[in-house]
């Protein structure tokens, strides 16, 4: 359990950088910044909905918040090194804070990058005694952040100290000390920024929930070529919904039995594809009593057997 003082130190250490990144997000162009805002998934309607009768209902997606115009695209290209450097700086401050709450201190009151990369690897491998809630149940997220920090350090050095970068056809191209180059697409840059923002904001604001967890892992999947860890491969937030209204089989307390036989005949369930959301709607005489929105990577485990809702496992998916 983190102390209020530890959380306050993280807030103060990263406040300016997080403010900068949140404002830079307004220049996201055609990148959907909704991917990394901490809001409920039911506030982001998918592109289509599938009912048990097979009918489809079209949604109008709200476009990402942008400044618009060709000038924005030019601005993104011009500030892409700043977006990268600001994000890395924010991650750097987070790594220092994480090391310090786990009893690691800099030599001579000053951290070096070599010392931080060595220490973060060691602390994680040994099992850190002090873990924010967002890492307590899934250390893989912390390992991915650590790998990003280590793998991108040379590129950060090239941008800040050597100006060894260029923007080619709207993308940031950076070289490290060995001459190896990496091309950062706009989506990759904003996913990197979003990942760091969501992570730190969740700790500072105490907003960690299953939505935050899924956002972090989705963003990390967009960066898997850099951090090198296996993808989490979760249901996409914009996947189709299988909408399932149910009248109760019991009133006191309310219980509903999802029509598994009908659900299992629908694509993508029948294909074994987890890229869907199961929207269970508990009714009484047509009036909604309780509603769940369950990701396919969770729902698929229940689609081969009969079950009754509510069940504890679905409590966090109530909408």
Task: Give domain status of residue 260, yes or no.
Answer: yes
Q: Say which DSSP state 250 is in.
A: B
Domain-embedded: residue 50: no
- Residues 118, 261 within the same domain: no
Which of these, 169, 194, 171, 184, lies nearest to 25 by C-alpha position?
A: 194
Per-residue model confidence (pLDDT) at position 163:
83
DSSP states along 219-259: HHHHTHHHH-PPP--PPPTT-EEEEEEE--SBTTTTBB---
Kindly state whether residues 192 and 152 are assigned to the same domain.
yes
Is there a domain that residue 235 lies in? no
Same domain, 119 and 179: yes
Number of domains in the chain: 2
pLDDT of 314:
93
CB 263 within 8 A of CB 280: no
SS3 state of residue 246: strand
Q: Which of 195, 227, 259 is the last residue of a domain?
A: 227
| Partner residues linked to 242 by β-bridges | 50, 278
CA distance 30 to 286: 40
State whether 145 and 291 are in the same domain. no
Tell me whether residue 135 is in a domain: yes
In a domain, 150, yes or no: yes
Please indicate, yes or no, whether residues 74 and 204 belong to a single structural domain of this protein. yes
Q: Are residues 148 and 195 in the same domain?
A: yes
Distance of CA 29 to the CA centre of its chain: 19
Q: Please check whether residue 51 lies inside any domain of the structure.
A: no
Q: Which two tokens stand for residue 64?
A: 């990402």
Q: Does residue 252 share a domain with residue 168? A: no
Q: Does 188 share its domain with 79? A: yes
Are residues 283 and 149 located together in one domain of the fold? Answer: no
- Check whether residue 157 and residue 10 sit in a common domain: yes
pLDDT of residue 54: 40
List the chain pLDDT tens, one digit each, 319 residues. 899 999 999 999 999 999 988 887 666 655 555 554 444 444 444 444 444 444 433 323 233 344 444 555 566 667 889 889 999 999 999 999 999 999 998 888 889 999 999 999 999 999 999 999 999 888 999 999 999 999 999 999 999 988 888 888 778 999 888 888 899 988 888 889 989 998 999 999 988 888 888 889 989 999 999 999 999 999 887 788 899 999 999 999 999 999 999 999 998 899 999 999 999 999 999 999 999 999 999 999 999 889 999 999 999 888 8
DSSP state of 63: P
**In a domain? residue 310:** yes
- Please tell me the predicted confidence (pLDDT) of residue 171: 84
Q: Are residues 116 and 81 in the same domain?
A: yes
Q: State how beta strands 240-246 and 48-51 pair.
A: parallel
Closest listed residue to residue 97, CA positions, set 230, 227, 3, 223:
3
Does some domain include residue 182? yes
pLDDT of residue 28: 62
Domain stops at, among 227, 252, 275: 227
Q: Which of 227, 261, 284 is the last residue of a domain?
A: 227
One domain for residues 131 and 210? yes
pLDDT score for 66: 41
Range of the domain at 307: 240-317
């Amino acid at each position: 359990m983190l102390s209020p003082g530890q959380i306050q130190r993280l807030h103060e250490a990263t406040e300016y950088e997080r403010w900068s990144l949140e404002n830079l997000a307004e220049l996201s162009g055609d990148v959907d910044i909704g991917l990394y805002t901490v809001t409920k998934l039911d506030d982001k309607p998918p592109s289509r909905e599938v009912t048990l009768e097979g009918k489809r209902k079209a949604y109008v997606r709200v476009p990402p918040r942008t400044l618009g115009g060709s000038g924005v695209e030019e601005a993104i290209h011009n500030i892409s090194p700043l977006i990268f450097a600001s994000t890395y700086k924010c991650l750097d401050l987070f790594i220092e804070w994480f090391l310090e709450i786990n009893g690691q201190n800099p030599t001579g009151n000053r951290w070096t990058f070599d010392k931080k990369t060595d220490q973060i690897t060691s602390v994680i491998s040994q099992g850190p005694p002090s873990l924010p809630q967002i890492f307590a149940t899934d250390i893989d997220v912390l390992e991915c952040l650590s790998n990003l920090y280590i793998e991108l350090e040379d590129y950060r050095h090239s941008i800040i100290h050597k100006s060894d970068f260029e923007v080619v056809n709207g993308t940031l191209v950076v070289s490290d000390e060995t001459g190896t180059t990496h091309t950062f697409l706009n989506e990759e840059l904003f996913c990197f920024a979003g990942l760091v923002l969501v992570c730190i904001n969740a700790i500072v604001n105490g907003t960690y929930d299953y939505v935050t967890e899924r956002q972090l892992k989705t963003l990390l999947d967009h960066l898997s070529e850099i951090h090198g860890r296996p993808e989490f491969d979760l249901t996409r937030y914009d996947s189709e919904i299988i909408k399932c209204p149910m009248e109760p089989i019991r009133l006191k307390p309310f219980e509903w039995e999802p029509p598994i036989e009908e659900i299992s005949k629908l694509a993508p369930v029948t294909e074994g594809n987890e890229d869907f959301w199961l929207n269970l709607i508990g009714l009484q005489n047509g009036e909604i009593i309780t509603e769940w929105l369950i990701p396919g990577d969770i729902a698929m485990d229940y689609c081969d057997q009969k079950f009754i809702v509510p069940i504890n496992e679905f409590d966090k998916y109530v909408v």
